[in-house]
Amino acid sequence: MKVKDVMTPKPIVLDVSMSIQDAARVLIKHRIDGAPVVEGDKLKGLFTKTHIMRAVVCGDDPVSTSVGEVMKVDVVTITTEATCEKAMRLKVGRLPVVNERGELVGILTRSDLMRAYAAEARDSLNKFNTILNSVHNAIIAVNRHGEIEIFNQAAERMIGVKAQDAIGVKVEKIFPSTEIYQQLRTGEPQYSQKITHYDKKMLSNRTPIIMDGEIIGAVAVLQDMSDLESISKELAATVELREELEAIIGSSFDGIYVTDGDGKTLRVNQAYERLTGVKGKEVIGKTMGDLVKAGVYDRSVSLLVLKEQKPVTITQEVITGKSVLVTGNPIFDQKGNIFRVVTNVRDITELNELKRQLGQAQEMEKQYNLELEQLRSVINQQCGAIAVSDQMKEVFKLASQVGMVDTTILILGESGVGKEVLAKFIHNNSQRSKGAFIKVNCGAIPEPLLESELFGYEGGSFTGAKKEGKAGIFEVANHGTLFLDEIGELSLSLQVKLLRVLAEHEITRVGGTKPVPVDVRIVVATNRKLEDMVKQGSFREDLYYRINVVPIVIPPLRSRKEDIPPLAIYFLNQFNSQYKLKKKLQYQVVERLMAYNWPGNIRELKNMIERMVVTTLDDLIEAKDIPEFLNVGARNTDNIYSDNKISVFGVMPLNDAIQEVERQIILNALKKHKSSRKIATALGVDQSTVIRKIHKFGFKLTDAPLPGVM
């Protein structure tokens, strides 16, 4: 301990020119017996109460006499780096402390030293008690009278008595079995003495405490025999485990070769000797470097493991002419250093056969994958048909079956579910696949124009008609497939003409009289309930039964969400190819897509994928790139695009209720958007459908109040 640790810094000082009277006032004020005298920062002397009394006895004037005239000049000082032991040896009651420049930096008194030694003694005692209580074994120490002075926590646990109840008590009253009095009498130590205390077996080591040749006490260290028994059992278990490992290593079919962290051979098993022809006695105790130099091995996997600090597998040539496959595995100690390398050795002949079989299997797998990709490519190139869910597999299975015959097919389903895709699939899987596939949206073309488009016209049949006339779509689609989408929007007059085509396989041009034979397969589709329209008289019953030969219902995307991931990937690849990009979808994005209800079905999904592909900056499309309305829709899919709730009050026929809901949705869209294009985008339908619905409900695209607005 150094002076700087215990001194009083910045002590009270007196100036050399200060009067004795003023100095006395300072000492009285601060209740001190003396103080260093300085001039500037330099120590000049020491002034105490004794100097005041001397000045009074000698008759000195306390006002005119300065401190410098009576102070002690030859002052003993000490430096900050000096030890407290040195300060104690100086035997001075008040020591000024100076730095290397002789400047006063503190004062050291006997009281400071005593407090420092007392604190150090308490600290040492606390450390001593902490050490004693941290020891696992019980420690009991007695004085020369046999009274207990030390009784640690382990002694409390083993003997069952608290230290506060044992300290100062005769040891035989607390623990008579210790026989510690023998050491007080004889002064001879005794070790490994077995004693019993209340059926608890202990091992006792007892020694006398001798100071200046005199026995002043004794100490006993006690160990619970159960600890030793536990250690003995662990040792027996270790021996048993070692024997078990020896048996396992010896019985292993694979060869085992063990080296230490320096590459020195420690052990080989019998299988190794059998596989390589090398005997253990020829290599044990030798380093792998020496064995490689001697030509026993062409190279060493153990040395490679020590170099690379990881498992290594190589083919090794042995001096006996054998070729083996060896795998070296490092074993690390707690410091991260390799202290063993365990090498497994296998006959490479058997492994070569397994390798050959694996190669054949891998080649077959590649071939199967190639064929599978080709099949997928063919299907996708045909019409982009994706069918993962059981519902869609059944749909395409039925479509494939009826595709080979020329029966009329009615495709039903919500808008955007992929009715055109299924129609193309039927065409591509039919005998007419080399013919034309023509789609006509019956709701997108006005009735007068639709008739001339479907059946053609003769020259001069109406104003603006070509002189030579024009062939209709039925004639253009001859020997092919005609897909009539939105068949429910067809007028009754055109329904009659279509019925004739289906019945007689011929058409008559507008303004003409001569029938024209046509060989066309008809596939129709609608998202409306035709049977309800038949009851209402807006669709001919005979035409309904004529087209409803084989109905195929495509379920909405929300009821077959297994199809969403492959459809999303298909569209992603499509747009990547179209825009020369390399976008990828994060898994969380696919989860969000599957959580959404998709009122616009596959068409809406396709548009959403295109939107994310062209608007995201990074190659990875993440969850943060998903439009907010999609996240909202995933949580509440009842009303996605409308700011108002859709409500139907009372009881009414289901078809009327559907019409009312449709009317309210169109009305809400008109309130929010002022163009048919924006409304079509919001509702996920074609622009022509929006225009038709607006006219159907008597609405107008105008800023004026809309009909039906409450």
Q: Tell me: pLDDT of 370 over 60.
A: no
Q: Tell me: pLDDT of 706 over 50.
A: no
Both tokens assigned to 654 = 């289901």
How many residues are there in the chain?
710
Higher pLDDT, 128 or 231: 128
| Gyration radius from the chain CA atoms | 53
Rounded to whole angstroms, the Cα distance separating 114 from 106 reads 17
Q: How does DSSP assign 632-679, residue by residue?
A: HHHH--SSSS-SS-----S---HHHHHHHHHHHHHHHHHHH-SSHHHH
Give the mean pLDDT of the chain: 83
Query: What is the pLDDT, as a whole number, of residue 707?
Result: 34
Residue with tokens 């062409």: 298
Q: Tell me: pLDDT of 168 over 70.
A: yes
The mean pLDDT of 144-167, rounded to a whole number, is 88
User: Where does the pLDDT of residue 338 fall: very low under 50, low under 70, confident under 90, or very high at 90 and above?
Assistant: very high
Rounded to whole angstroms, the Cα distance separating 264 from 274 reads 21
Higher pLDDT, 367 or 231: 231
Higher pLDDT, 350 or 696: 696
Instruction: Tell which residue, 334, 317, 335, has the closest CA to residue 326.
Output: 317
Query: What is the pLDDT, as a whole number, of residue 285?
Result: 93
User: Where does the pLDDT of residue 461 fall: very low under 50, low under 70, confident under 90, or very high at 90 and above?
Assistant: low
The distance of Cα 542 from the centroid of its chain, to the nearest Å, equals 63
Hey, is 118 helix, strand or coil? helix
Lowest mean pLDDT among 138-142, 224-228, 410-414, 591-595: 224-228
Q: Tell me: pLDDT of 640 over 50.
A: no
Query: What is the pLDDT, as a whole number, of residue 352?
Result: 65
CA distances from residue 576 to 16, 572, 585, 588, 608 in whole angstroms, order as listed: 95, 6, 12, 20, 14
User: Where does the pLDDT of residue 462 fall: very low under 50, low under 70, confident under 90, or very high at 90 and above?
Assistant: low
Most confident of 84-88, 103-107, 477-481: 477-481
Name the percent of the chain in helix, strand, coil, to the closest 5.
45, 20, 30
Query: What is the pLDDT, as a whole number, of residue 377?
Result: 42
Lowest mean pLDDT among 214-228, 504-518, 539-553: 214-228
Counting residues of the chain whose pLDDT is more than 70, the rounded percentage is 89
Tally Cβ neighbours within 10 Å of residue 24: 19
Rounded to whole angstroms, the Cα distance separating 54 from 57 reads 5
Query: What is the pLDDT, as a whole number, of residue 604?
Result: 92
Q: How far apart are the first and last CA of the chain?
A: 95
Q: Tell me: pLDDT of 543 over 50.
A: yes
Query: What is the pLDDT, as a whole number, of residue 685?
Result: 80
The mean pLDDT of 186-191, rounded to a whole number, is 84
What the chain holds in terms of domains, given with CATH numbers, is: 3-116 (3.10.580.10), 135-229 (3.30.450.20), 254-383 (3.30.450.20), 386-555 (3.40.50.300), 557-640 (1.10.8.60), 644-710 (1.10.10)
The mean pLDDT of 343-372, rounded to a whole number, is 70
Query: What is the pLDDT, as a whole number, of residue 654?
Result: 67
Lowest mean pLDDT among 89-98, 562-571, 572-581: 89-98
Query: What is the pLDDT, as a whole number, of residue 702?
Result: 55
User: Where does the pLDDT of residue 125 fall: very low under 50, low under 70, confident under 90, or very high at 90 and above?
Assistant: confident
Query: What is the pLDDT, as a whole number, of residue 465?
Result: 64
Side-chain-side CA neighbours of 629 within 13 Å: the count stands at 12
Query: What is the pLDDT, as a whole number, of residue 260?
Result: 93
Counting residues of the chain whose pLDDT is more than 90, the rounded percentage is 26
Query: What is the pLDDT, as a whole number, of residue 542?
Result: 92
Query: What is the pLDDT, as a whole number, of residue 638?
Result: 39
Query: What is the pLDDT, as a whole number, of residue 687?
Result: 77
Hey, is 93 helix, strand or coil? coil
Q: Tell me: pLDDT of 226 over 90.
A: no
Higher pLDDT, 546 or 687: 546
Q: Which helix (H) or strand (E) holds 266?
A: strand 265-268
Lowest mean pLDDT among 60-74, 522-536, 614-628, 696-710: 696-710
The mean pLDDT of 5-17, rounded to a whole number, is 87
